[in-house]
Homo-oligomer: A and B are copies of this chain.
């Protein structure tokens, strides 16, 4: 595909320095003449077809500037782990407000938003969750993503700005523990999911779960079937890393009772 044929002129990727951002940085180039990469940290030198912008999402003016000339946004920026409330609020709540204000002001029509399965982390590992079920965040991080889903819904209902919220499981080269056998999202599937979210002609406001075709399933993606996302990988390829065991976690262990795993008790809540 020649440069001239690339579907977008300028695509913005926020959080480009993060784990998923780094993966996407290389894989999304065929989709745009220019990929604008943004992060709160240093992203190094721009490579061909890239623009680089350093941006703190809590800085309204910086966010407005970052959005200029952008056709569509892949928003993977902000804080993506459990943390104290105030930094999460600044990056993921105030920052997201800034982002959508800028999207609205610059007439951007589509956002792919990195939500999280931690919006529903307090469902049990024996339950199956779909995109319309009530929220059950498992920490301040998950809570900020609940906010993001509601805010993006509002911008769709009020202004027609389309968003796909991706409730990503665990996107790593391979599952790092037994829980990730269920939540694993291979990089190839991640890229395919983002591609579907970006190119499906109409998405309205869609919430989609992001996992590969793993054997164990906690999430029913039926409400996002119009995206056409079909995962190809499966965590079963790594089943040998987690041999069957008769040892059961203690009956009251929240990290195995709830889908959120360690997040449900990793938070800073009990600190004084």
A147 near B154 (CB under 8 angstroms)?
no
Instruction: Tell me if A39 counts as interface (CB < 8 A to partner B).
Output: no
A157 near B143 (CB under 8 angstroms)?
no
**CB contact list, A209-223 vs B, under 8 A:** 214-218, 220, 222-223
B223 near A128 (CB under 8 angstroms)?
yes
B157 near A122 (CB under 8 angstroms)?
yes
B256 near A230 (CB under 8 angstroms)?
no
Instruction: Tell me if A226 counts as interface (CB < 8 A to partner B).
Output: yes
Instruction: Tell me if A199 counts as interface (CB < 8 A to partner B).
Output: yes
Chain B residues with CB below 8 A from A94, complex form? 85-86, 89
Residue from B86, B125, B200 within 8 A of A202 (CB atoms)? B125
Instruction: Tell me if A47 counts as interface (CB < 8 A to partner B).
Output: no
B138 near A143 (CB under 8 angstroms)?
no
Residue from B131, B248, B272 within 8 A of A110 (CB atoms)? B248
A256 near B133 (CB under 8 angstroms)?
no
Known contacts A7-B244, A125-B226; 8 further A-B pairs (Cβ under 8 A): A89-B89, A135-B153, A138-B157, A143-B150, A147-B147, A147-B150, A181-B228, A182-B226
